[in-house]
């Protein structure tokens, strides 16, 4: 199965963020070498979901507990996939705004009912005793990187390897740094733009970061998007720096520089998004 043209925002938490049973499970999972890396994980996620759903899509299947594992200094951190919850949310989102005839054809009512129950149980905290505080550790965006994600990372935190097969480009930072950047950005955006969509989007991301353990690691991964971009474009990509420059311009009231930074980013990532139409 080919790589997905998607980017990912992940949070890796230390084992102490989980209850005792989960700590034992994830420690054994890592020790046995069962975890896949971020390069192979997305394809495995997709194949596992499709195989479990089957052709009829008549039930919400149980899916295996899997995670990305990261060794950060002396700490072992995990980013659980939470596939069953994510499939449930995707099933409900697929029905939103779609005529009932089409919605029922793609997501049968039986599956939709099961999905709603799973999401409601999770959000109500019914799974707390089994999985700890309900939280989703990975966000996914197709055919681009949401501009708000760049708020959380710094250009100096880039990890890039253009010699590997496949190539990789990702940013990793301590969640405390990501939170500080996020709160600073929200303050600037709220003061300069008010309750604009971008302000609300960054606020939502900021609330999401607050759900996790203070010693977590945040990762922004270009994922399969690297397959759409040549080496020189990847090496020269400075999107987090452009976002930081735009926010700095807003904070000092320089609308022209802020607009210039925004337009530069939109133009850069529109070129990637337009490739979807060629797919």
pLDDT tens sequence for the chain (279 residues): 445 899 999 999 999 999 899 999 999 999 999 998 998 888 888 888 877 777 666 677 778 889 999 999 999 999 999 888 877 877 777 777 778 777 777 777 877 887 788 777 777 654 444 444 567 899 999 899 999 999 999 999 999 999 988 899 999 999 999 999 999 999 999 999 999 999 999 999 999 999 999 999 999 999 999 999 999 999 999 999 999 999 999 999 999 999 999 999 999 888 888 877 665
- pTM listed for this prediction: 0.87
Cα three-residue angle 246-220-8, rounded to 5 degrees:
120
Name which of 115, 122, 100, 121 is nearest 58 in CA terms: 115
Rounded Cα distance, 275 and 144, in Å: 10
**128 alpha-carbon distance from chain centroid:** 22
Query: Residue 77 — left, alpha, or beta (φ > 0 → left; ψ -120 to 50 → alpha)?
Result: beta
Task: Give CA separation, 100 vs 94, 109, 112, in Å.
Answer: 11, 10, 12
Model pLDDT, residue 45: 86
Model pLDDT, residue 125: 58
Which ranges of the chain does DSSP label H, i.e. alpha helix? 20-31, 41-53, 83-95, 100-106, 109-124, 128-131, 175-193, 197-209, 231-236, 239-251, 255-273
Instruction: Let me know if 158 is exposed, middle or buried by CB neighbors in 10 A (0-12, 13-18, 19+).
Output: buried
Which residues share a beta bridge with 220?
9, 171
Q: What spatial distance separates the first Cα and last Cα of the chain, rounded to whole Å?
A: 15
Which residues share a beta bridge with 78?
13, 69
* CB-side neighbour CA atoms (13 Å) of 139: 16
């Amino acid at each position: 199965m080919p790589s997905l043209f998607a980017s990912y925002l992940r949070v890796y938490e230390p084992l102490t963020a989980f209850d005792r049973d989960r700590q034992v499970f994830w420690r054994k999972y890592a020790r046995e070498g069962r975890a896949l890396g971020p390069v192979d994980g997305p394809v495995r996620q997709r194949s596992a979901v499709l195989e479990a759903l089957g052709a009829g899509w008549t039930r919400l299947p149980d899916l295996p507990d899997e995670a990305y594992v990261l060794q950060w200094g002396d700490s072992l951190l995990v980013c659980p996939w939470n596939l069953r919850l994510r499939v449930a949310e995707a099933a409900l989102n697929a029905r939103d705004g779609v005529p009932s005839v089409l919605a029922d054809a793609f997501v049968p009512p039986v599956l939709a009912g099961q999905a709603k129950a799973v999401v409601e149980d999770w959000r109500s905290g019914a799974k707390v005793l089994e999985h700890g505080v309900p939280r989703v550790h990975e966000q996914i965006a197709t055919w681009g990187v949401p501009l708000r994600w760049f708020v959380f990372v710094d250009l100096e935190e880039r990890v890039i390897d253009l010699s590997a097969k496949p190539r990789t480009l990702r940013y990793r930072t301590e969640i405390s740094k990501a939170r500080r950047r996020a709160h600073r950005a929200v303050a600037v955006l709220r003061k300069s733009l008010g309750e604009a969509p971008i302000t609300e989007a960054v606020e939502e991301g900021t609330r999401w970061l607050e759900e996790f353990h203070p010693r977590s690691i945040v990762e922004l991964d270009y994922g399969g998007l690297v397959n759409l971009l040549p080496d020189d474009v990847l090496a020269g990509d400075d999107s987090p720096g452009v976002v930081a420059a735009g926010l700095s311009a807003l904070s000092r009231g320089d609308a022209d520089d802020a607009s210039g930074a925004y337009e530069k980013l939109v133009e850069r990532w529109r070129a990637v998004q337009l490739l979807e139409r060629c797919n």
